[in-house]
C-alpha cells in the first residue's frame, strides 16, 4: 500500500514547522486571502472578536471559560479568560510554542503544548496549571513530539524519532499516576501511528499498515479496543482523525477517498455512524505542506455540536451541525477565510481573517436560532466489522532510560 500523501507530509513537515518556529515572528504560517476583507454577513447571532493587537492569532482551543491561541507577533501562547476578558501569556523562553495546528490544547485547568527549548535544541511537552500559574515540563527527550491533546488526567501525542522519521508512535502521560506509556498499535505490521486524540476515557488515532488505514480506538476505563473504520483496499483512500468529545462518546474523522472528502461522526452510545453531507474541505492534490497541516484541525465535536471549516462557497466558512436535531447552519458567510474551529459545551471558537490578519472569534451556540427548516438527520451508516483475528491492544509502559 502506498503511504498516504497527507500522512507522509504530516510526518515530514515537522522539521519544516520547527524551522518556522525559529523564524522572525512576523512570518505568517498561512497565506493571506486575496479577497478584500469584509464584515460578516447578517446572521441571527454575530461572533465576537476576542483577540486584538498586531500579528496573527492562530489555532484556538476552548475549554470552560478559557480560550488558548498562538500569537504570531510574540511567538507565544495567549490564554484568554472570558469572565474577565483578560489575556495572559503562559509560555516562556524555555518553552517556545510551535505554530502548528494541534500543537497545543486546553482542558479545564490545564494547558499543554509542544515547546522548543532554544538552549537545549529540542522539543518537549509542557503543562501550564491555570490556577497555580506554574509550568511543568512533561518530557525531556531528543525525539520530536506533535499532535497533542489533553482531557481529564491524560495527555496524548505522536512522537517521531527524528526530523526524517515520518512513521511516528503514539504516547499517553497519566497525570494521576505521573507515568508515561506507549500505546501499542492494533496490528503488528503497523507502519504509522499518528494524530492521536483523547476525550473522557477514549483514545483514538490513525494507523496505517501494509494493506489499509484504520481509525483505532481504545477505551481506558474498560481496557477494550475496536477498529472504528478500515479503508477499502481497492480504492485510493486515507483517514484523518479529528476530534473526540470531552465525554469520550463521539468521535469525528475525515475519510479522503478518490479526490472526495467525507466527514463522519461516530456515536459510541448508539453505535451509529453519521455521514455529514456537503463537506468539501479537502485540500487540492497539489496543496502545499501548510494547507495539509491545517487540514488536521478541520473539525471538532463536543456534546451535541459538531463544527468544521468548509470551502463549499467562495472561501472557507465555519459550519455547525446539531446532532440532536439534524440541523446544519453556517456560522460565518463572508468572503474572508475562516479556519481551525473548536467547540466545548456551547462555546465555539475559530480563527478568521475578517480584518486582514487572523483573529480569534467566539460564539455561544445556545444563542443561535435554528434555521427555518432543519435538515433531516442523515441515515446512519453501519459500522464496518473489525477483523476477528486482530490482536487486543496493549498499553505498554515506556522503557526507563529511553
SS3 readout for the chain = CCCCHHHHHHHHHHHHHHHHHCCCCCCCCCCCCCCCCCCCCCCCCCCEECCCCCCCEEEEEEECCEEEEEECCCCEEEEEECCCCEEEECCCCCCEECCCCCCEEEECCEEEEEEEECCCCEEEEEEEECCCCEEEECCCCCCEEEEEEEECCEEEEEEECCCCCCCCEEEEEECCCCEEEEECCCCCCCCEEEEEEEECCEEEEEEECCCCEEEEEEECCCCEEEEEEECCCCCCEEEEEEEECCCCCEEEEEEEECCEEEEEEEECCCCEEEEECCCCCCCCCCCCHHHHHHHCCCEEEECCEEEEEECCCCCCEEEEEECCCCEEEECCCCCCCEEEEEEECCEEEEEECCCCCCEEEEEEHHHCCCCCCCCCCCCCECCCCCCCCCCCCCEEECCCCC
The predicted structure's pLDDT at residue 178: 96
**Please, which residues bridge with residue 342 across strands?**
349
d(CA 137, CA 155): 12
Which of 114, 109, 143, 141 lies closest to 128 in space, CA to CA? 109
> What pLDDT, on the 0 to 100 scale, is given for residue 192?
84
Q: What is the pLDDT of residue 35?
A: 34
Question: What pLDDT shows up at residue 282?
Answer: 56
The CATH class of 5-31+39-391 is mainly beta
d(CA 122, CA 3): 27
Report pLDDT for 278: 64
Q: What is the pTM of this model?
A: 0.84
pLDDT, one tens digit for every residue, the chain (402 residues): 444 444 444 444 444 444 444 443 333 334 343 333 333 333 456 899 999 999 999 999 999 999 999 999 999 999 999 999 999 999 998 899 998 899 999 999 999 999 988 777 788 999 999 999 999 999 998 888 888 999 999 999 998 887 666 678 899 999 999 999 998 887 677 788 888 999 999 999 988 877 778 899 999 999 998 988 887 655 566 778 889 999 999 999 988 776 677 899 999 999 999 988 667 655 555 555 666 666 778 899 999 999 999 877 667 889 999 999 988 899 987 788 899 999 999 999 999 999 999 999 999 999 887 654 444 444 445 444 444 333 333 343 332 222
Q: What is the pLDDT of residue 288?
A: 58
Distance of CA 138 to the CA centre of its chain: 20
Per-residue model confidence (pLDDT) at position 43: 46
Amino acid at each position: 500500500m502506498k503511504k498516504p500523501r497527507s500522512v507522509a507530509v504530516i510526518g515530514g513537515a515537522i522539521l519544516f514547522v520547527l524551522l518556522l518556529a525559529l523564524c522572525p515572528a512576523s512570518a505568517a504560517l498561512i497565506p493571506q486571502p486575496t479577497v478584500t476583507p469584509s464584515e460578516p454577513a447578517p446572521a441571527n447571532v454575530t461572533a465576537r472578536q476576542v483577540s486584538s493587537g498586531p500579528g496573527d492569532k492562530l489555532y484556538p482551543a476552548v475549554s470552560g471559560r478559557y480560550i488558548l491561541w498562538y500569537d504570531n507577533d510574540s511567538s507565544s501562547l495567549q490564554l484568554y479568560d472570558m469572565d474577565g476578558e483578560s489575556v495572559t501569556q503562559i509560555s516562556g523562553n524555555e518553552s517556545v510554542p510551535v505554530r502548528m495546528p494541534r500543537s497545543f490544547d486546553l482542558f479545564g485547568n490545564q494547558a499543554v503544548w509542544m515547546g522548543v527549548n532554544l538552549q537545549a535544541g529540542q522539543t518537549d511537552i509542557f503543562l501550564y496549571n491555570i490556577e497555580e500559574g506554574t509550568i511543568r515540563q512533561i518530557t525531556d527527550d531528543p525525539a520530536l513530539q506533535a499532535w497533542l491533546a489533553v482531557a481529564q488526567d491524560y495527555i496524548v501525542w505522536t512522537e517521531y524519532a527524528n526530523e526524517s522519521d515520518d512513521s511516528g508512535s503514539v504516547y499517553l502521560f497519566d497525570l494521576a499516576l505521573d507515568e508515561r506509556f506507549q500505546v501499542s498499535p492494533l496490528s503488528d505490521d503497523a507502519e504509522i501511528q499518528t494524530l492521536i486524540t483523547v476525550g473522557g476515557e477514549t483514545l483514538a488515532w490513525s494507523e496505517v499498515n501494509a494493506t489499509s488505514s484504520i481509525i483505532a480506538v481504545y477505551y481506558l476505563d474498560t481496557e477494550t479496543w475496536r477498529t472504528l473504520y478500515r479503508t477499502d483496499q481497492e480504492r485510493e483512500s486515507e483517514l484523518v482523525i479529528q476530534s473526540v468529545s470531552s465525554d469520550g462518546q463521539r468521535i469525528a474523522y475525515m475519510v479522503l477517498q478518490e479526490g472526495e472528502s467525507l466527514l463522519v461522526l461516530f456515536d459510541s452510545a448508539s453505535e451509529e455512524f453519521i455521514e455529514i453531507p456537503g463537506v468539501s474541505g479537502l485540500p487540492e492534490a497539489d496543496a502545499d505542506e501548510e494547507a495539509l497541516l491545517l487540514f488536521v484541525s478541520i473539525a471538532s465535536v463536543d456534546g451535541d455540536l459538531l463544527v468544521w471549516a468548509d470551502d463549499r462557497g467562495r472561501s472557507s466558512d465555519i459550519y455547525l451541525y446539531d446532532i440532536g436535531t439534524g440541523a446544519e447552519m453556517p456560522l460565518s458567510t463572508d468572503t474572508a477565510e475562516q479556519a481551525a474551529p473548536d467547540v466545548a459545551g456551547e462555546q465555539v471558537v475559530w480563527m478568521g481573517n475578517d480584518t486582514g490578519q487572523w483573529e480569534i472569534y467566539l460564539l455561544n451556540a445556545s444563542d443561535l436560532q435554528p434555521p427555518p427548516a432543519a435538515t433531516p438527520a442523515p441515515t446512519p451508516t453501519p459500522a464496518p466489522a473489525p477483523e476477528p483475528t486482530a490482536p487486543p491492544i496493549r498499553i505498554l509502559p515506556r522503557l526507563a532510560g529511553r
